[in-house]
Amino acid sequence: MTFAAEVDELLRNLAKPPGSLGLLEAQARQVFLAWGNTETAFRPKHIIFAADNGITRSGAVQQLAEITYMQSRQMVEGVSAVTCFCRCNGIPYEVVDVGIDSDDGVGIDRKIRRGTRDFAVEPAMTAAELERALDIGGERAAAAKRDGYTCLSFGEMGIGNTTTSAAVLTALLPDHTPWLAGYGSARGNYRLLRHKEELVRQGLLAYPQIRGNALEALRCVGGYDLAALCGAMTACAELRLPFFIDGFITAAALACAVTLEPSVRAYALLSHLSREPGMAAALRYIGRDENEVILHGGMSLGEGSGAVLAVVLLRSMLYAVRHMATLDGINAAAARRRAERDGKGRNVGGNTDR
């Protein structure tokens, strides 16, 4: 029997109607196959990559770019939404500064530069900076593996990164694909949405080499957070570490990672369906779809907030797999009970005959 068949039998034999736990069963199966066994302890860790994006200088957002720094500080202190979720559920986390526009480093300091360049003016980063961002992502995944963590979840923080993600993802999709920019945190601001779409359109015209080229797309119109996420995801495939993506930004990074290394797909777990229009497109690009997403909560916060909530659900499912009664056990107990009952009936009948 193959290991995959053993996993299928393990899940089939749980004391419940087959398939009745739906996507939780599918995710448990995916994790066991990623590990190569069913005994590994579930030890999750959440990693947030934070960076500023130069495209904000061309009016891609309505918030102040300084919010990246302020919110990243809140994360380090444990008072952002996602870090509250982590603390509530005992999930370790780290904030990795790969390019926040500040003199000081925030959290784990891996600052490449104080924000990317404005891709409306020039490429967002150099080839060396891209390589550095990819390496940082891989480094953090490897460090988590060395520390004994067996499942990761990813988040990001960076004002303007819905625009960079839309640009990168649009570059990977077929030419006829509509612009994938969404409202981001400026929900309802139609004028800003149109401006973001124009920035994406101009980016694709200015850098034609990014079409179908994940590395060039990240370099020319992406962000340090996206590149670090991509590097971390490709490293997870090498390390046999299953990982949760969050919403649109991490889905765009996953599209890049799968383009570079198709085996990454097997390690990627889906958490929630972002309101951003590019989310579904990113999933379909890698051969997945919205029906595989376990949480449909209308969220679009980022930070990995949906990913952490999905981690909690998966942990519950894995506990159940390891502690739940089995159909074989129930059937054996029922057979014993029937045999005992039948035996008592025969004894009573024998006494009556006498």
Spatial CA neighbour of 303 closest among 197, 117, 156, 172: 156
What positions carry a catalytic annotation? 303
Q: What is the pLDDT of residues 157-167, one digit of tens each?
A: 999 999 999 99
Report the alpha-carbon distance of residue 331 to residue 329 in Å, rounded.
5
Q: Work out the number of other CB atoms within 10 angstroms of the CB of residue 16.
A: 16
pLDDT digits (tens, 9 = 90+) for 183-218: 555 455 557 677 878 899 999 999 999 999 999 999
Task: Give pLDDT tens digits for 271-316.
Answer: 999 888 889 999 999 999 899 999 999 888 999 999 999 999 999 9
Chain position carrying tokens 């994006």: 53
- Written as one letter, the residue type at 291 is N
Beta-carbon contacts of 222 under 8 Å, excluding residues fewer than 6 positions away, are: 116, 124, 125, 164, 165, 167, 168
pLDDT at 98 over 50: yes
Task: Determine contact, residues 52/101, Cβ cutoff 8 Å.
Answer: yes
36-64 per-position pLDDT tens digit: 999 999 999 999 999 999 999 988 887 78
Rounded mean pLDDT, 234-254: 97
Q: In 3D, which of 126, 124, 138, 179 has the Cα closest to residue 49? A: 138
Task: Kindly state the average pLDDT of the residues 113-137.
Answer: 98
Q: Could you tell me the fold of the domain covering 41-323? A: Rossmann fold (3.40.50)
Give CA–CA dist 310/293, Å, rounded. 10
What pTM was estimated for this model as a whole?
0.93
**CA 263 to CA 257: how far, in whole Å?**
9
| Predicted pLDDT of residue 179 | 56
Domain ranges of the chain: 41-323
